[in-house]
Structure 1
Amino acid sequence: MSTTVRDDLILSHAVVTADVETSFHDVDIAQWLKTLPTHEYQRCAPGDHKAAGYTVDDDGTPMSINVEMIGTGLVIQQYRFDVAEAHYCRMVSLSDILTPKGWTTTQVIWELRMEQLDGDWCRYTNTVTSHPTEDFLTFIAAQGQTFAEAAEARQEASGRHCEVETPRYAQSISRWAAAHSTVSA
């Protein structure tokens, strides 16, 4: 099994935005991710999101662990914080996927960005890009599936999933910002 990432191939790519009323100053996506409770994560994609947690890798790099359904696959994501800032996070995971035909792996890059619009209106952008691993390519070939077929199915499933979770993530981040506001009442 080779988990070598084929970053020259894109399995899926989704960019979805949602506008939300929140204090840009109080938004801290990195802290939101590090403290995201499982039940709040589940509310962000009902039925698909199963569990969330926070840990660190062996080298001390912060990690977000997410378990979710994407289409027919149960995906266990072990996101390493590549960039962890208040208004932008870039997370990279070598994800394990349990499909109806068995286990495989992909790389998933999750980017979360909050931009200030006017006043207290902000735009949250949720970007999810997936690359196959050599293991994934071998796995789909053994199933008689081409990369184009696999990419089409993953694009549809991932795009649909992102459409559900993005506005809910924006609202969750907004609630977190309000609860952690530095403005005194």
Structure 2
Amino acid sequence: MPLLEPVARKHLHTRRIVCEGFSRSDGLWDIEAHLTDTKTYGFPNQDRGGIIEAGEPVHDMSLRVTLDLDFNIHDVVAVTDDTPFKVCKETAAGMRLLIGLKIGSGWMRDVRARVGRTQGCTHLLELLGPLATTAFQTMHKALEERANNEASHSKPGILDTCYALASDGLVVERQWPQFYTGKDRKS
């Protein structure tokens, strides 16, 4: 269902974020995120030849994070092709400080401690949220296969992470009945 018809308005800005996930031949996973910002009008800019034209990227940057199946970061590559200020490109190399972190609870706190505020780029950091969810979506089948092979009797980590996966909800009742906590639970 589309959004309701808005009032009369003028289009000014477009941000596009594309994330893709890949399994690698070495057993690791590459998750890539690409961000572009464009304006529908040109504006003055000293660092880019005097003006950034309408439709020309204000920001054009890419990020690749290499993970294992436990979400440990093995490598990070960032490339900044276009920014409004030349110095912005200097922050891309600093994203390598994320190597060794694990995507999971509290990881954005750890990210900000390493490359937050004046140490990094807001736009590259913004890519980490959709990149993390793309990682989970990319590796989901392999995670399920591993869990099935291990025949684990412990509660899957994905439970209680969102509305659909609440322990007392219909999805958990259907897919993980042994962890269902709803009212009509069968003991």
Normalised TM-score (structure 2): 0.36
Query: Which structure: larger Rg?
Result: 2
Tell me which of the two structures has the higher relative contact order, counting C-alpha pairs closer than 8 angstroms and 6 or more residues apart. 1
Higher strand content, 1 or 2: 1
